[in-house]
Amino acid sequence: MRDRGLAGRSPHWVLTLYAVGVYAFLYAPILTLVLFSFNNSDVTGLPFKGFTLQWYWRALQSQTIRAAFANSVMLGIATALIASTLALLLGASFRSNFRGKQLVFNLILLPIIVPGIITGVMLLVLFGAAGILPSLWMTVLPAHVTWALPFAFLTIYPRLYRMDRSLEEAAMDLGAGPWTTFREVVFPQIRPGVVAACLFSFTLSFDEFVRTVFLLGMDRTLPVQFWYMIVEQLSPDLAAMAVIILVVSITVSLTGYVVVSRAPQ
């Protein structure tokens, strides 16, 4: 690690203590949730009445929860593949200058700034006006792709941008076609970025709620199913369900993080 800036100045003990406090604030609710999910009590809360796995069993046996889980996974995979492919194509075209590049760039990043509730209702009205009925694949998938695209783009583009052009030129000079050059020279260099973009897009889609709930129609994704279960009645298996969601998305994101940090810069 570079030794510059503030690095290397050991933090004052007050600051370290403060940081420990913030970490406690960040993790206390999550750990409490995990604890309660194993609590053998009909009420989500304390006192702790003994260890049980029944809430996990109940959540995993529910037909609706399983269907919602399957929907979320399929949607996440589709979003990951489409958003990463689009990000790759956009990134490739951004390496050369063209008119309106700045505008396109801002448009790609726009969904980050616009609140999810606005994106959700705007797409609802737009699809409604176009006569497209709300469903998982016709309305939710496009919404998730526009949401994940800026993040996928920001993961892939810096790698493409920093890449040494002369390698491609050398491949072309040696007679490789554009496709071969891409597959054999360009892609291996940006692969960690693409894999990470896929994984991050998956979790963004898997966790998304506001941009989903208005566009779902009769289908359910896991966060939406979870939401309706909270709103309709606070049942004791909610903590277990939340832990399942946490474990899936943190595992996938952590894999993405490892892929990025292991890759040679």
Partner 1 sequence: MLIPLAVMVLFSFWQKGPFGLDRTFSWSNWTRLVQGGIYLDLVAKSLRIALITMLITLALGFPLAYFLAQQRSWRRGLTLLLVFMPFWTSYVARTFAWLPMLGRTGLVNYVLLKSGVIGQPVTWLLYDEGAVYVGLIYVYLLFMTIPIYLALDRIDPALIEAAHDLGAPPLATLCFVIWPLALPGVLGGCLMVFLLGFGAYVTPALLGGPSGIMLGNVIADQFGAAYDWPFGASLAVTMVLVIFLLILLVRRWIPIQRVFLGTD
The CA R_g of the chain, rounded to the nearest whole Å, is 23
65 forms part of the interface with partner 1 (CB under 8 A): no
Residues 169-208 that bind partner 1 (CB under 8 A): 203, 206-207
Under the criterion CB under 8 A, does residue 38 sit at the interface with partner 1? no
Among 125, 133, 138, 167, interactor with partner 1 by CB under 8 A: 125
Query: At its nearest, how many Å lie between partner 1 and the CB of residue 115?
Result: 2
Three-class secondary structure of residue 41 per DSSP: coil
Question: In this structure, what token pair is assigned to residue 128?
Answer: 């409604």
Q: Which residue's structure tokens are 């007679």?
A: 175
Tokens representing 125 are 């009205």
Are 190 and 160 contacting, i.e. CB atoms less than 8 angstroms apart? yes
60: contact with partner 1 by CB under 8 A? no
Q: What one-character DSSP code corresponds to residue 50?
A: -
Which residue, 3 or 173, has its beta carbon nearer to partner 1? 3
CB of 182 or CB of 257, closer to partner 1: 257
Query: Smallest gap, in angstroms, from Cβ of residue 103 to partner 1?
Result: 11
How many angstroms separate the CA atoms of 54 and 194, rounded?
39
Q: Tell me the two tokens of residue 68.
A: 């919602």
Cis peptide before 47 (omega within 30 of 0): yes
Candidate residues 16, 40, 64, 180; the one interacting with partner 1 per rule CB under 8 A: 16
What's the min distance (Å) between Cβ of 77 and partner 1? 17
Per-residue contact track with partner 1, 72 to 111, x per CB under 8 A? ---------------------------------xxx-xxx
Least separation in angstroms between residue 144's CB and partner 1 is 14
In this structure, is the dihedral angle defined by the CA atoms of residues 162, 163, 164 and 168, taken in order, positive or negative? negative
Is the Cβ of residue 51 or residue 179 nearer to partner 1 in the bound state?
51
